[in-house]
Each structure stands twice: as structure tokens, then as C-alpha cells.
Structure 1
Amino acid sequence: MGLFDFFGGSGPEKALKLKPKVTQKYGDPASRQKAIQQLGEMKYPEAVGVLMARFTITVEPLTTDADEKEHVFELIKGFGKDAIPPIQDFLRKSDQAASWALRLLGELLPEPEIIGTCVDTLTHLSTHYTRDPEKKVVLLHHVTGREDPRIAPAVLPFLEDMSDDVKIAALKALGPFKHEPAREPMLKLLTAEETARRVQTAALAALHDSGFGVQGFREKVEALLVEPYVLDRTGVIRRQA
């Protein structure tokens, strides 16, 4: 008998039925808080999924909202390793609260496994439309600065995202990797007529970090250079002192 088999009187169905109370923004907060506490005591994986939904809403006053979310965080953490699959499922399916999911995984998994979850989720997102770019940005920020060969191929498709914030986050993540397949896409993004100026600035920084040459794009790149960036004789973007 496993951990989730001890609570016969409060099964998965009961956990799922509590979701409307957990996500109730208005009315008596005591009802929401009672449901949260009940879920924390159930020890069913479905309870974790319902508790995660609390991170997707904001209630007034904000001090109550912050306190409740921290309480939910601690309750989920208390599930231990059994919480990992429901959190990963939430991260994959929900467009909201990705930062909370990653924070929880940070308490429950070693960093290489968290990176694997991020890479898997980014790979899924790269082929599925999402209206809100926040989740992509959160995931891209999390993998930025990490040294893992799985990251660059997963990030590369986001140079073509519709959101400028996503493009900028992808450029920041890609630059230090010196990932050769990213050279031409970064140059195309930099030199495209429709590219916003702030994205062009991020592209210049990423190309500088990568050390890639601008062969095939030199004339267009020269026209877009801004301080502190210059192009040396070999076609590599340098930063002036």
C-alpha cells in the first residue's frame, strides 16, 4: 500500500471537487483556506494538482495572497517526491505560475533534472501556440547561464516567436553557448526589417557573446551597430572599452 492509499475517506475525487473553492477569488477567504488545508492533508497526487491552481489567481489583500501562496508552497513541498509528477504536469499544461512550479521543483529535484524538465517543456511549447508569453520567458530565464548541451537546441526555435520578450530571452540564453546552428538565425533576426530595435540590441549582444562572424551579413550588420559594439576586420562583433 502506497502513501496515497491510506486516506480512503478522502480520495482523488474529493480533491478535484475542492478546486472551485481553492480558486475562489471572492467571498469568505476562510472557505478557500479550509480547502487548501484539507488538500494538504490528503496526500493524493490529485491534491497537488489542485493546490497548484492556487498559484494561478491573485486575491485581495495582497498580503493574504502572498501568505496563502507561501502556505500552499510549503504544503506541496511536504508531499516530497510524490509531488514531482503533478508539478511537472502542471508546468506543461498551465500557461500561468511557471515560476512557482520551478521554485517547487528546485526544492525537490537536482538541477540537471530541472533543466531536463525545462527543456522538455520548451520543446513542447515551440510547436504549440500560447497567447501569453510569460511561461516561455520564465523557462528561458531559468536555463540562461546554465551549462547543459540540451539547452541551445531547445531554445533556438524561440528566435522566431511572435513575442519580442521571448526573442530577447532566447537571445540571452543562446549567446554564451556558441551554438553554430544559431549563427544564421541570429543574424537574420538582427537584420530583418521588421525586427524591433530592442531585439536588435539583444541580438548584437548575443552575437558578441557567441563570437560568431557576420559573414554574408556584414553590410547589413554594420548599418545596425550601436555603441558599444563595433565590427572588427575579421567580421566579429567586439565591445569597445
Structure 2
Amino acid sequence: MGIFDFLRSKGAKSAPPSGNAPAVDKKIAGPAKVVADKRAQTYDRLEAIQALVDMKTPEAAAALLKRFNFTIDPSITDAEEKDLAFRGIVAAGKDVVPAVIEFCTKAEALTWPLKVLDAVLDDDAYREELLDLLEGFDTEYARNVEPKIQIIQALEEVVHEDVRTAVERFFEDVNETVRFHAVQTTFAQAMPESVKPLIDMLVNEESVRVKNKVAEGLLVRGWTIPEDRRDAVADALGDTGGYTVGESGKIVKRSLRFG
């Protein structure tokens, strides 16, 4: 039985009782506790999610956010529950944005809440919220870098000068994966103004993977390396997958020969 068949079969039991209705916060508290409980029975958690979805209020939507805090098996059930919660949150509209932002500042993973922001906000507002969230991160060591990476990845789909300048500071992040995604998002902006900071990063970068990503992006974009930086860039590319600086100042890739 799929999730939606189950919910239809439970519809009668999920309906609110007649008579005097309890206060809104009490109506939310019970289902919210079950939604946030990874160890709850699947059918109980589904019923609780649906109960909050049916309320269609920002308060109920905020409670649904807690379902994004954990993963269960099987993965298909996990995805179905999260998708149902997602649609319930989005149905509450822009009034839920403050709760989503607060959740993002504390969550271990941001994939689903960022999808909510993308769904309920216009392009400009979505960009500003992402940039505000990214501003809360520094480039030092962090136990969990996933939220930072996920914001940078989300910005890959948002082309704007403010995105370019905001992401470039993460070229100096201590985490190699953060630097890798910062480079990828920078190239997605397709702005030649990025050449200088990319070169500055490249000549000091230790990760071959990151250097290959920079070289690949410069090659694809066809951007020219300034003449006074070409020797330094060529030296930095010595341990990459065949990338070097051509006579024109553009990055070229030579075939590697073995044996």
C-alpha cells in the first residue's frame, strides 16, 4: 500500500472530532511530537504529518519542518514522508518563511528547507535569503559542512553579481569540498570578473581535484589568463590532468601518455 492509499484509508480517523475544538497550539503539539520522532511507527507518523498538512497554518507548517531532521528506511518511505511534509509547508505560503529560516540556522541538512524557500519565494527574495544564510558561515573548520555546501550548491542555479562576490570568499575555506563547490558555483555565474580570484586561488591550491575543476572551468569558458600570471598558473597546473596555459593565454588540455 502506498502512502496516499494509506492516508485515504485513514481519512475518517484523521477527521477532527465534533464539538468544541481544542486550542490551536494543543492541536499542533500532539502531531508535531510524532512527526519529529524517528522511532514512531510509520503509520502513526504518516497520520501525524497529514493532520498537520490539513491544518494549513504557518504554525502547523513549522512543525512539519522537523520531519526533515532524520532519515528512515526504506528510502522510498522516507522520501514520501518528506515530500508530503514539503507540500504541506509550501501550502502555508510565505508566512512560513521565518520558521524555515530559523530551521536552516540549526539544521544538519538543508536540502528540503531550501526547496521550500525556492517554492514560496520569488527569484529575488530567494536569492537574498540564500545569501543571508551563507553570510552566517565562515571559512574555518566546522564539524558539519553540509549546510554550507548545500547553500553554495543552491546558488549555482541563481545567476547574479551578488552571488559571485559572496561565493568567492569560500575559495579560502579550509574544507576541500566547500572550495570545490564554490568554484563550481562561480563558473555557473559565467562572469569574467572571476578570473583574477580564480587564478589567485589556483596558484595556492593544494587539492588536485580543485585545481582540475578550476582549469576545466577556465577552458570551457575560454577566459584568458593575464600575461603576468601565465607562468605561475602553468606551474600550478603541473600535477593536473594535462591542463596547461597555451600560447594565447587560454587554458588547453593535452593528452596524457603513459608508458
What does residue 154 of structure 2 align with?
142
What does residue 89 of structure 1 align with?
102
Amino acid paired to 2:193: H
Distance 2:124 2:235 in 1: 41
Residue aligned with 2:136, SS: helix
Amino acid paired to 2:38: K
What does residue 68 of structure 2 align with?
55
Deviations 1:202-241 (A, max 9, x none): 1223444372525554333213434563313464434679
Aligned length: 231
Deviations 1:73-123 (A, max 9, x none): 221122122223322332333231x22122222322222221221111111
Deviations 1:168-210 (A, max 9, x none): 1111122322235x624x33432236x1110111122344437
Normalising to structure 1: TM-score of the pair? 0.79
Distance 2:222 2:76 in 1: 43
Matched, 1:162 2:153: no
Matched, 1:202 2:213: yes
Distance 1:21 1:8 in 2: 20
Amino acid paired to 1:237: I
Distance 1:234 1:23 in 2: 59
Matched, 1:15 2:28: yes
Preserved CA contact (<8 Å) 1:10 1:42: no
Distance 2:66 2:231 in 1: 51
What does residue 185 of structure 2 align with?
173
Q: CA deviation at 1:17?
A: 6.0
Amino acid paired to 2:192: K
Q: CA deviation at 1:72?
A: 0.9
What does residue 3 of structure 1 align with?
none
Please identify the structure whose Cα radius of gyration is greater.
Answer: 2
| Structure 2 unmatched ranges of 5 or more | 1-19
Distance 1:113 1:240 in 2: 44
What does residue 17 of structure 2 align with?
none
Q: CA deviation at 1:63?
A: 2.5
Distance 1:178 1:135 in 2: 28
Moved more, 131-140 or 230-239: 230-239
Deviations 1:149-185 (A, max 9, x none): 21011101111112212111111122322235x624x
Identity %: 26
Normalising to structure 2: TM-score of the pair? 0.75
Preserved CA contact (<8 Å) 1:213 1:235: yes
Distance 2:85 2:196 in 1: 43
What does residue 230 of structure 1 align with?
244
Residues 162 and 127 (structure 1), Cα distance of their counterparts in 2 relative to 1, 3 Å cut: closer
Distance 1:34 1:76 in 2: 16
Preserved CA contact (<8 Å) 1:214 1:221: no
Structure 1 residue corresponding to 2:203, chosen from 186, 191, 197: 191
